[in-house]
Structure 1
Amino acid sequence: MVAWRSIFPLIFVAALIVFEEWVSIPSCEVVPSNHPEDVSVEDSEDLKVMMVANLLLLGSEAGYMNLYFRDSYMAKFFRKSFDRLKPDMLVVLGDVSAKGSELTSHKWFSVLQQFQRMVGPFLSLPLHIVLGDRDIGECRHVSSKLINRISSSLPGLDSAGCGSFEVSNISFFSLNTVALLCGNNGLRFGVEKAIERESVDLQTHIVGTNEATNDSNRFHVHENFGSFHWRENAVSSGSGPVLLLHFPLHPTTNNSCMDASALKRTVSPLERWSLRTFYNQKQAGMGPYELLQALPQNATEYIIHALKPRIVFSAHTHRFCDHIHRDGTREVTVPAMTWNARDDPGFIVATFGRNKAVTISQCSLARESHVIMAYVSVLVLLLTTTLITSNSHLLNSRR
């Protein structure tokens, strides 16, 4: 009996190691789609993309809890996801940093180093990072100099914070949606120019060079859509690129994704901080911006009209959603992959087929509360076993 008590601590430590390995494995399930062409038939030539969002890293300002617990587990999650899911690419839909706009160049570099340590084996894959509001800050603080500084350190972004690229014959286009909320300034116009360039390239490729060139000279401003310029677009819906955003598109009235009561049930202290008025009303030229809001309706319709996206991926709300817009465009919102935002973080895997099918798998990670409870339970068992063993030795010595 005494011998068993002496090896109890070793058993507990071994059990904890096994638990850590098991709990760091993501759980994934295919999301049913309302699109008939989106069938979950996997092919060896399909492109599998892992999409994460809202990592909210602190770099050199991270405390002990983040560095030695949360970041350690997130690194395990990334490694296990890489080994288990075997993705071909990694996309981060914004907010790599918790407060990137407030950081000096040196501190921003420490965030990137933290990110590289966390994603580990994914650095060998194609990587794209979208700019989020935490990365570049409030509208009144956003400047071309700041965008250039941050964009130049991230792969594939231009001076406006947008990116266009192709992987395995799948076209992707990412937008700096923060700039679209910042009123009539050069940054927003720079993003509009990027949209127009992508729109012309799309029409040139699909409709024909002559027609697209003629269209490029025809601008139409709709009185209900502010200053967004509309050009005629003969491209059919869904023929455009895969669109990558940080802010979601404007929701329709029947969009259950914007159910505030559902969001508040899982809100974290960091999310409550975000729910304050974030954008300066005068600078942004619009009402107060909060976490539950998305891109304005005029910007949403302009983007869909100009780009005719194959599918849209967005983030920011910290929760998963799969939504079909009125025109048939499918939008998938990626949950936050950090315990700093949610007790139950997650990510998605999008598989792009050769026949335009897109299969979405929603993946969930272990709850932080469950992991902490496991550690506390092991600690209590160790202390209890130690106490029982000590008392047993004391009684034996007295005899």
Structure 2
Amino acid sequence: MPGLSAKWSAVIFVVWSVSCVFIFCEYVIYYPTIIQCSWPEMDQAPRRDNGNAEHVPILRALFLSDTHLLGAIRGHWFDKLRREWQMERAFQTALWVLQPEVVFILGDVFDEGKWSSAKDWEDDVRRFRKMFRHPRDTELIVLVGNHDVGFHYEMNWFKLQRFERVFNVTSATMFTRKGVNFLLVNSVAMHGDGCPICQAVESELLRLSQDLNCSMQSSAIGPLREHCHQTQTFPSSLPIILQHYPLYRVSDASCTGQDAASPEERHLLFKEQYDVLSQEASQKLLWWFQPRLILSGHTHSACEVLHGNKHPEISVPSFSWRNRNNPSFILGSFSSADFVLSKCFLPEESTVIAIYCSAGAVLLLLLLLHLHMLRGALQCACCLLGKHKTV
């Protein structure tokens, strides 16, 4: 009976230990990591020309990119289960801890959207909605990426409209909250070859540029005022461009930081219209909108670039542990005239694996020690029993 009791105690200890480690690594670990993140502070009462302070509303926005939900063709069931659970827990924890007003996902939501059947597409959308569920007071805005509708030569109206219907977004639109203008761009359509989708997107962008310019010159008189008579009105604030492809840059050679591309990848030259937008398309966007900030994804790594010495661009790393050991997201505080950004890192995959391995090694040593002590106790009991029989 004592031996049987000791065995059950060992079994209970093992089950309890494994459960604790599993719950910590798969659920609890996200809280102490994300709770260290905070919204960047911004002066809410800047001085006006007359010297008086005026309260300015601040918009808190969270940016992530390249979730790449695995599909039915290339996605192994365990890989899919593991990565989607990680992203779901990270996102839900971030919502609970940080409570953003709006969340932007900068494209490549799906990995196989470019060739998904109707059935597979519905399944991918269902899983996405479960993972990225959010309260009503938080808006979720999803941009299109090349894996969602295909590269330029794969994209067609059917795939694009399928995506736009699900996420209630168009290929070129201005999203405005609290006086802050966000320009949402389908960068896959910025190919410049005159294809029907490209023409439609560029025409809409040009119209938005004219409307924004008129809004910025709302006090204009004469011919300009007459030209702006029937334009759409936006807050008089330079926009923030959000898109999947980065603007043109030669490579990631100048990118630094722990989530930048690896040293062997940084000097690889980018291919225009594949890795980054073409120089022509990039110049069009900069000239038409004069953005105060550009946020993009696609490369899966972080980078900060200054275009023309006045247009900063931030490349947001992938949110999926399948693409990075250290995923992250961006937190931004925005007013109509200013912005401040900070980065929030998620638990590293290598750390989680190290915890599992360390816990397994400690548990194995404890079990071996327990068995050794149990064997010793049994041997002592046998010796005492033998001596009792001899007497």
Give CA deviations for 1:16-62 in whole Å, capped at 9, x if unaligned: 4345445313354788xxxxxxx744689311111000000024564
The Cα of 1:170 is off from its aligned counterpart by 1.8
Instruction: Tell me, yes or no, if the aligned pair for 1:345 and 1:365 is still in contact at 8 Å.
Output: yes
Distance 1:321 1:254 in 2: 7
Distance 1:301 1:64 in 2: 43
The Cα of 1:212 is off from its aligned counterpart by 6.3
Instruction: Tell me, yes or no, if the aligned pair for 2:192 and 2:281 is still in contact at 8 Å.
Output: no
Query: Which letter does structure 2 place at the counterpart of 1:301?
Result: Q
The Cα of 1:151 is off from its aligned counterpart by 1.4
Instruction: Tell me, yes or no, if the aligned pair for 2:70 and 2:80 is still in contact at 8 Å.
Output: no
The Cα of 1:204 is off from its aligned counterpart by 2.4
Unpaired stretches in structure 1, ≥5 consecutive residues: 32-38, 217-237, 268-274, 278-286
Give CA deviations for 1:309-346 in whole Å, capped at 9, x if unaligned: 23211111112223322151121211110011111111
Pick from 94, 101, 116 the counterpart of residue 103 of structure 1: 116
Greater RCO, CA 8 A, separation 6+: 1
3-state DSSP of counterpart to 2:261: helix
Instruction: Tell me, yes or no, if the aligned pair for 1:195 and 1:307 is still in contact at 8 Å.
Output: no
CA gap of 1:190–1:19, structure 2 versus 1, over 3 A, is same
3-state DSSP of counterpart to 1:173: strand
Could you say which residue in structure 2 is the equivalent of 1:348?
330
Instruction: Tell me, yes or no, if the aligned pair for 2:272 and 2:279 is still in contact at 8 Å.
Output: no
Point out the more displaced range, 165-174 or 358-367.
165-174
Could you say which residue in structure 1 is the equivalent of 2:247?
249
Number of residue pairs aligned between Structure 1 and Structure 2: 349
Please, what TM-score do these two structures have when normalized by structure 2? Answer: 0.78
3-state DSSP of counterpart to 2:153: helix
Distance 2:137 2:39 in 1: 26
Match status 1:74 vs 2:72: no
Distance 1:241 1:115 in 2: 29
Please, what TM-score do these two structures have when normalized by structure 1? Answer: 0.76
Query: Which letter does structure 2 place at the counterpart of 1:57?
Result: L
Give CA deviations for 1:185-242 in whole Å, capped at 9, x if unaligned: 11111111111111121122122485166489xxxxxxxxxxxxxxxxxxxxx94322
Distance 1:251 1:364 in 2: 25
Aligned-residue CA RMSD (Å): 3.5
Pick from 369, 380, 387 the counterpart of residue 350 of structure 2: 369
Could you say which residue in structure 2 is the equivalent of 1:360?
341
Could you say which residue in structure 1 is the equivalent of 2:96?
83
Point out the more displaced range, 61-70 or 191-200.
61-70
3-state DSSP of counterpart to 1:139: coil
Instruction: Tell me, yes or no, if the aligned pair for 2:113 and 2:148 is still in contact at 8 Å.
Output: yes
Point out the more displaced range, 8-17 or 189-198.
8-17
Pick from 148, 162, 170 the counterpart of residue 172 of structure 2: 162
Match status 1:23 vs 2:5: no
Instruction: Tell me, yes or no, if the aligned pair for 1:266 and 1:342 is still in contact at 8 Å.
Output: no
Query: Which letter does structure 1 place at the counterpart of 2:157?
Result: S
3-state DSSP of counterpart to 1:331: strand
The Cα of 1:348 is off from its aligned counterpart by 0.3
Query: Which letter does structure 2 place at the counterpart of 1:347?
Result: F
CA gap of 1:199–1:212, structure 2 versus 1, over 3 A, is farther
Distance 1:134 1:49 in 2: 24
CA gap of 1:108–1:254, structure 2 versus 1, over 3 A, is closer
Could you say which residue in structure 1 is the equivalent of 2:19?
13
Pick from 297, 304, 319 the counterpart of residue 279 of structure 2: 297
3-state DSSP of counterpart to 2:114: helix
The Cα of 1:125 is off from its aligned counterpart by 1.5
Instruction: Tell me, yes or no, if the aligned pair for 1:266 and 1:343 is still in contact at 8 Å.
Output: no
Distance 1:249 1:123 in 2: 33
Could you say which residue in structure 2 is the equivalent of 1:397?
378
Give CA deviations for 1:85-143 in whole Å, capped at 9, x if unaligned: 22101100000011211101221222222222222335652111111111111222211
Could you say which residue in structure 2 is the equivalent of 1:198?
208
CA gap of 1:185–1:212, structure 2 versus 1, over 3 A, is farther
Instruction: Tell me, yes or no, if the aligned pair for 1:251 and 1:258 is still in contact at 8 Å.
Output: no
The Cα of 1:352 is off from its aligned counterpart by 0.4
Pick from 175, 196, 217 the counterpart of residue 185 of structure 2: 175
Distance 1:311 1:8 in 2: 54
Could you say which residue in structure 1 is the equivalent of 2:362?
381
Distance 2:376 2:269 in 1: 61
Distance 2:151 2:224 in 1: 40
3-state DSSP of counterpart to 1:195: helix
